[in-house]
Structure 1
């Protein structure tokens, strides 16, 4: 078996968290939101479009449990910007940086990364392209 990339990640969010998700992922981080089928009650989740080949499925549910260090760590997203550009964009968007690392190892090698938390407690690593 030869995997090429991650297609999607499923994350549960609070039943009333869709607007917060759209604002954080869409407006603050600048990713595309694909929610027409969700809004039409044709599927139980909506997508954060990271690239042409990768999405995060967000599932609003009453069964949401805030992530802890024992059940979740983070999802890593490679972006085109440098660490300095990532930090500047986050500051402009009012997103608090949890930490910055110079060269954490990832699937494509070592590159700088900036870590933030979404409104639901999930850590998101924004990793500079190698």
Structure 2
């Protein structure tokens, strides 16, 4: 089997966290939100579009339990901007940077990255690929 890329990641969010998810992933981080089938009741989840070939499925549930150090660490998203551009965009959007690293090891080698938390406690690594 020859894998090409990660197609999607599934994350649970609180039932009442849909607007927070749209605001964080869509408005603050600038990713596309695809939620028409969810809003129409056709799917139990909505998508954060990372690229043409990758999404995060967000599943609202009343049984949501925040991630802990023993069951989740982070999801990493490689972006085209430089680390300086990433930090400036996050600052302008009011997103706190939890930590920065000069050269964490990822799928394509070492690249500078920052780590942020979404409204539900998930850590998101944003890696510069510029």
TM-score range with shorter-chain normalisation? over 0.9
Task: Tell whether 2:33 aligns with 1:27.
Answer: no
What's the RMSD between the two structures over aligned residues? 0.7
Q: What is the match of residue 83 of structure 2?
A: 83
CA distance in 2, matches of 1:129, 1:87: 14
Cα shift readout 1:63-106 (whole Å, capped 9, x = no counterpart): 11000100000000000011111000000000000000000000
Q: What is the match of residue 8 of structure 2?
A: 8
Q: What is the match of residue 119 of structure 1?
A: 119
Cα shift readout 1:9-34 (whole Å, capped 9, x = no counterpart): 00000001100000000000000000
Cα shift readout 1:100-130 (whole Å, capped 9, x = no counterpart): 0000000011000010000000000000116
SS of the equivalent of 1:120 reads coil
In the superposition, the TM-score normalised over structure 2's length comes to 0.99
SS of the equivalent of 1:17 reads helix
Gaps of 5+ in 1: none
Q: What is the match of residue 62 of structure 1?
A: 62
Q: What is the match of residue 37 of structure 1?
A: 37
Count of residue pairs the alignment pairs up: 130
